[in-house]
Structure 1
Amino acid sequence: MEKYIQEDLDKKIILLTGPRQTGKTTLSKMLNPDYDYFNFDNPDDRLGLQEKSWDRSKKLVIFNELHKLKNWKSWLKGVYDTEGIPPSILVTGSAKLDTYRKVGDSLAGRFFQFRLHPLDLKEIHNFLNPGNLEAELDKLLFSGGFPEPFLNGTTRFYNRWKKSHLDIILKQDLIDLENVQQIIQIETLIQLLKHRVGSPISYASLSQDLQCSDKTVKRWLMILENMYIIFKVPPFHKNIARAIQKAPKFYFYDTGQVIGEQGIKLENTVACAIQKEIHFREDCFGETKKLFYLRNKDKKEIDFCTTSGDDPVLMVEVKWKDNSLSSNFEVFRKFFPQLKMVQVVKELKKEKTFPNGAEIRTAHNWLSTLTLP
């Protein structure tokens, strides 16, 4: 993403978002060594922001967690409209900045957004040059792709890191941004979701478990999405109204949080990789892509389907160990004959292709070179 952000820094405000501890501040400071930095969580920096006293001789000014400032968009718009660029302005945040409008003027036309994800196998392959991709995938399945625990590589470190990581989000960010008091119930919701990754989620079932209304569950799930803890994968349907009514699936940005068999962890890892690629193509090239799953009335299912524009272009089925092609590809191929079909398998003796165009690929090879049609 670095070169694409560099190209835009002298044209627009840059909003860099993503989960906590993915490296947003590190990336920001790499863009130009001549920067001034303000973190809203720091009391001294908050005063500097109120005074607007950053060093205007610097080429870049970085505002971290600025969305916690009341009416931050209106404040930022005022700075941009009054002073313009330079210095270049980069705003980072561990929440979806387009969601936290906070009452105030819009930044429409004044910013470009980039979303930074945890490491995936493609990034590891391209930038860390590992000797054994299969071993790196095993690490991703266990500890997820957040840089600090992934690079540390030990079970002891990751187990302590993931607890403190969630605690900060729930007990600091959640209260700061959403003024939510039901922390224990939201923690319980997260625990329930950890066991239900890859399964369609029933709001009614969750509301019974949590002893609250469907509406409350939906609001909490949206908050967890906005805080970059989980992301939603809805079922694909040409009729938007019907698609909204159907049960979505939820996946974690941190695969290590997933509780269940190895195949579910692999499915979560593949979901993360596809979502990351979609966001990269959207943010850097302006493409319109989305991630869905496929399911029919007979409960035949394909794990993932990506679209380009409004058209389905790729079906992906994830298996831990299966040399035979899923028969469900043909079920959906009748409706979408042009779709690329890929079965991703962790333990596979030999890769295969078939007359109908379907492919069976080893997970580490496919993920390390992932491209979307």
Structure 2
Amino acid sequence: MDSGKLLQSPIQLEAEKLTRLWRFGGFPEPVSQGKDRFFKRWQNLRQEQLLREDIREATHIQEIQQVQLLAILLCKQAGKETKYSTLARSIRVSVDSIRRWLDVLEAFYYCFRIRPWYKNIATALRKEPRTYLCDWSMISDVGQRAENYVACHLLKATHWWSDLGHGNFDLFYLRTKEGREIDFMVTRDQVPWFLLEVKNSRNAPLNPNLKWFQEKTGAEFAFQIYLDGEGDNVDCFSVHRPVKVSAVSLLGQLV
């Protein structure tokens, strides 16, 4: 698979810009301002406007308080398997309502779902998606926030490449019934391209599931990215075996 037209040359991104993205999320207003007070006001206003005004007016949903509760639960469970029946019991509504409201929240860019990849993996999970927020700055847990941060960057890249006509790109996660899992896999025209596991620290041992899933899927690349440390200004896509790379280096090559 020719990746040359898709990827950027290795660059040294400014640490201050990445810190702003991590802290204030991916929306331009709070990132450009870079101030906590503005960010908190903006975030509260966005939540209020989105849930109490935009969604209610556009969809005529009457149970807006339950939709707000669903949004809170999704924030706490970001990156985990979305169990519709469990959410329905927690909010005391039907499973159909949960599915319908999730579709609405996704349409209004509150969240997005990625589904499991199961081709060529006999024991892979097949049904439950994982839900991530479009604004990772709402997530307090550092590990969940890191995974969500990377998920947003990968989703942006797959949409960009698809829109430019380079192919049909999709984002999946991998998990088997025995508990083997990898956070993400990017496909091109339904062919596995690269696997990606997210860690906060470069000192975390290389996840052996990268090698296992690479052999099962035939993915060309397998990365374990870490969020601490600066970029190495190296081409992450020059090595085909499972390898550790900085998030700065890898994400800087995507879009």
**Common topology (TM > 0.5):** yes
Q: Does 1:270 align with 2:150?
A: yes
In the alignment, what sits opposite 2:111?
Answer: 230
1:243 Cα shift?
8.5
Q: Given residue 317 of structure 1, which amino acid in structure 2 is its aligned partner?
A: E
Q: Matched residues, percent identical?
A: 30
Secondary structure at the aligned position of 2:251 is classed as helix
Contact 2:202/2:244 (<8 A) preserved: no
Provide structure 1 residue ranges, at least 5 long, that are not aligned to the other structure: 1-121
Partner of residue 22 from structure 2, selected from 124, 131, 141: 141
In the alignment, what sits opposite 1:301?
Answer: 181
Q: Given residue 108 of structure 2, which amino acid in structure 1 is its aligned partner?
A: M
For normalisation by structure 1, the TM-score amounts to: 0.60
In the alignment, what sits opposite 1:252?
Answer: 133
Secondary structure at the aligned position of 1:234 is classed as strand
Partner of residue 364 from structure 1, selected from 236, 242, 248: 248
In the alignment, what sits opposite 2:220?
Answer: 339
Once the two structures are superposed, the pairs formed by residues 203-218 of structure 1 within 5 Å of their partners are: 203-218=84-99
1:348 Cα shift?
4.7
Larger Rg: 1
Q: Given residue 287 of structure 1, which amino acid in structure 2 is its aligned partner?
A: G
Query: CA separation of 1:143/1:350 partners in 2, compared to 1, >3 Å: closer, same or farther?
Result: closer
CA distance in 1, matches of 2:246, 2:17: 14
Find runs of 4+ consecutive structure 1 residues off by over 3 angstroms: 242-245, 348-356
Provide structure 2 residue ranges, at least 5 long, that are not aligned to the other structure: 1-7
Once the two structures are superposed, the pairs formed by residues 141-220 of structure 1 within 5 Å of their partners are: 141-220=22-101
Q: Given residue 361 of structure 1, which amino acid in structure 2 is its aligned partner?
A: V
Q: Given residue 246 of structure 1, which amino acid in structure 2 is its aligned partner?
A: K
Contact 1:273/1:367 (<8 A) preserved: yes
Contact 1:234/1:243 (<8 A) preserved: no
1:291 Cα shift?
0.4
CA distance in 2, matches of 1:173, 1:338: 41
1:132 Cα shift?
6.0
Task: Report Cα offsets for 1:173-211 as digits up to 9, x if no partner.
Answer: 212221111111111111111111111111111111100
1:245 Cα shift?
5.5
CA distance in 2, matches of 1:183, 1:196: 20
Secondary structure at the aligned position of 1:334 is classed as helix
Q: Given residue 281 of structure 1, which amino acid in structure 2 is its aligned partner?
A: W
CA distance in 1, matches of 2:42, 2:231: 37
Contact 1:133/1:364 (<8 A) preserved: no
CA distance in 2, matches of 1:314, 1:192: 30
CA distance in 2, matches of 1:237, 1:165: 36
Query: CA separation of 1:346/1:180 partners in 2, compared to 1, >3 Å: closer, same or farther?
Result: same
1:229 Cα shift?
0.9
Contact 1:142/1:256 (<8 A) preserved: yes
CA distance in 2, matches of 1:368, 1:350: 9
Please tell me the root mean square deviation across aligned C-alpha atoms, in Å: 2.7
Query: CA separation of 1:285/1:322 partners in 2, compared to 1, >3 Å: closer, same or farther?
Result: same
CA distance in 2, matches of 1:267, 1:363: 11
Task: Report Cα offsets for 1:218-261 as digits up to 9, x if no partner.
Answer: 1111110111110101111239xx9895211111111112231x
Contact 1:307/1:313 (<8 A) preserved: yes
Task: Report Cα offsets for 1:109-137 as digits up to 9, x if no partner.
Answer: xxxxxxxxxxxxx9xx99xxxx8633322
Contact 1:294/1:305 (<8 A) preserved: yes
For normalisation by structure 2, the TM-score amounts to: 0.86
